[in-house]
Amino acid sequence: MGLGSFIKNFLPREERFHEILGRNTENLLAAARAFAVFARAESLEERRTQAMELKAVEHRGDEITRELFEALNSTFITPFDREDIRLLGTDLDDILDYIESVAQHLVLFELADSPAALKQFADILVEMVQEVHQVAGLVWNLAWGPVIRGSLVRISDLENKADALYNAVIADLFKSKGRDPLEVMKWKEVYEGLEDACDACKDFGHVIGNIVTKNT
């Protein structure tokens, strides 16, 4: 056992989970910001390079999530309900997986374009993940309840914005006359993945909301 792992075993249980989740959301925020750059890439080659970088971030996220679950399995008493902490880790993992998967699809489908909707989705995700990162840091002190609830409202509003964007862009895809049906299906897959990422942010917010309700 390394010195870092040895010390972590003696951290107060709240501090230990706080620290792991903090690293997880920081990593997720790095991924969301990287995807916003990826969405604005000017060539497919640039996108391929950035997709490899996103894959590395996703791999780090997997390692942190595994560390969280190991901490759950080795801790007798947890600061919140064990299942809620597990759901937080699962939702963060899902958000990151969706973002990285969309990046891979854009490369595999050889989609070099940067339509306005793609950039708008990327920006919405950055905003949502910023709120996710904030509430993940505040939930350990429920005196921040009003601020947490404000962030949860913001996540919900952004998810509604993503829903509206998704509906508009899918309608536009299928209305476009003369467009290659295969291209339509490729972009539909991309936008579905982005919508799934936004939904997973909302799910994370719901878990945080449940934790606040249970503990106040």
Mean pLDDT of the residues in the chain: 92
Question: What is the pLDDT, as a whole number, of residue 156?
Answer: 97
Quickly count: other Cβ atoms within 10 Å of residue 58's Cβ.
20
Kindly tell me if the per-residue pLDDT of 55 is higher than 70: yes
Cα angle 13, 214, 64 (rounded to 5 degrees) comes to: 40
| pLDDT tens, position by position, 123-173 | 999 999 999 999 999 999 989 999 999 999 999 999 999 999 999 999 999
Question: What is the pLDDT, as a whole number, of residue 142?
Answer: 86
12-214: CATH homologous superfamily? Phosphate transport system protein phou homolog 2; domain 2 (1.20.58.220)
| Per-residue pLDDT band at 3 (split at 50, 70, 90) | very low
Has this prediction a pTM greater than 0.85? yes
| pLDDT tens, position by position, 90-129 | 999 999 999 999 999 999 999 999 999 999 999 999 999 9
Domain ranges of the chain: 12-214
Q: Name the 3-class secondary structure at 115.
A: coil
Q: Name the 3-class secondary structure at 163.
A: helix
Q: Which of 7-11, 39-43, 64-68, 155-159 has the lowest mean pLDDT?
A: 7-11
